[in-house]
């Protein structure tokens, strides 16, 4: 039986810039930030109140998984907004939305009533969408 | 479950711990930043986060110590100081309790696995990621 989700990956264009965004704009905490042999940087973040699921901020680079062409393709798809980080929960969508807008976070949909709650949709600084939901 | 207002207060206390774990921190320091009494802070914190403020503090310190032991060439006493402990003895026994090995043994074991100095060995991150990004 699977009991929980520990890590999920989001591809970003630049780990330093993504870390700045997730930490200083979204208010996430750093889980791990370690240089791993082979030039890989293991970087995870999580919302301050819940560290159970951590987001791995990874850069698509030429290496064992991607050839040069594939890495470049993924980078251009990220910038086009083809990928998403998923749903982030909030106690108050409107309030969080306003806080984030004030910090310069770009939104493609303001808080909107949905069947499951109030939802806004924003973009991280790589171009990945994330959904902000109040249930 | 804490009410919204109480949750905000306890979060402020938790943020204070997360931002200052490398300093000496008492329960009353933490509670002061949350603007609630130490007893209530302890109780609401445990209810909200599933661990006591002190358990959270120890977790942050040990996690940071692990990183320093592998990625920096500090002595164990320096690492102990960096993560907010004044007594090497209590740091070592906490570390041992949390990770199952003494700080020096932890360092020796992980350094032996790493192909590059001052880098985390690929074995210390989830294997799926090592395989994906490093081909190991």
* pLDDT value of residue A41: 92
Interchain pair A35, B119: CB under 8 A: yes
B33 touches A at CB < 8 Å: no
Put simply, whether B14 touches A (Cβ < 8 Å) is yes
Looking at every residue in chain A, the average pLDDT score rounds to 93
Tell me how close the Cα of A64 comes to any Cα of chain B, in angstroms.
5
* Rounded Cα–Cα distance for residues A21 and A59 (Å): 15
What are the structure tokens assigned to A46, written together?
């999580």
The reported pLDDT for the residue numbered B122 is: 87
pLDDT confidence of residue B2? 57
Residue B120 DSSP SS3? strand
CB pairs under 8 A between A and B: 72
**Residue B50, pLDDT score:** 86
B15·A7 Cβ contact <8 A: no
Q: Measured in Å, how far apart are chain A's first and last C-alpha atoms?
A: 27
Task: Decide if A64 and B133 are in contact by the 8 Å CB cutoff.
Answer: yes
Instruction: Give me the residue from A34, A36, A64 closest to B135, CB to CB.
Output: A64
Over residues A71-111, the pLDDT tens digits come to: 999 999 999 999 999 999 999 999 999 999 999 999 999 99
User: Mean pLDDT for each 10-residue chunk of chain B (136 residues)?
Assistant: 76 90 91 93 92 92 91 92 92 93 93 85 88 84
Query: For position B106, what pLDDT does the model report?
Result: 94
- A32-42 pLDDT per residue, tens: 888 888 888 99
Q: Can you list the domains of chain A with their CATH numbers?
A: 5-132 (3.10.180.10)
Interatomic CA distance for residues B103 and B99, integer angstroms: 9
**A91 in contact with B at a CB cutoff of 8 Å?**
yes
């Amino acid at each position: 039986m699977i009991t929980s989700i520990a890590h999920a990956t989001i591809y970003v264009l630049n780990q330093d810039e993504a870390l700045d965004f997730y930490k200083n704009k979204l208010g996430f905490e750093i889980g791990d930030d370690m240089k791993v042999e082979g030039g890989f940087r293991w970087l995870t973040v999580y919302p301050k109140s819940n560290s159970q699921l951590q987001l791995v901020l990874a850069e698509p680079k030429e290496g064992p998984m991607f050839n040069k062409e594939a890495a470049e393709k993924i980078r251009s798809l990220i910038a086009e907004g083809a990928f998403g980080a998923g749903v982030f929960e909030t106690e108050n969508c409107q309030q969080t939305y306003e806080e984030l807008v004030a910090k310069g976070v770009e939104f493609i949909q303001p808080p909107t009533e949905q069947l499951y709650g109030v939802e806004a949709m924003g973009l991280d600084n790589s171009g990945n969408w994330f959904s902000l939901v109040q249930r | 479950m804490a009410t919204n207002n109480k949750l905000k207060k306890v979060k402020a206390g938790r943020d204070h711990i997360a931002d200052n774990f490398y300093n000496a921190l008492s329960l009353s320091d933490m509670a002061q930043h949350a603007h609630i009494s130490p007893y209530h802070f302890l109780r609401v914190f445990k209810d909200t986060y599933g661990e006591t403020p002190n358990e959270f503090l120890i977790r942050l310190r040990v996690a940071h110590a692990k990183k320093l032991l592998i990625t920096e060439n500090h002595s164990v006493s320096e690492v102990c100081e960096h993560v907010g402990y004044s007594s090497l003895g209590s740091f070592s026994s906490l570390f041992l309790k949390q990770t199952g090995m003494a700080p020096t043994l932890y360092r020796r074991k992980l350094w032996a696995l790493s192909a590059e100095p001052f880098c985390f060995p690929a074995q210390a991150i989830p294997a799926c990621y090592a395989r994906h990004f490093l081909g190991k």
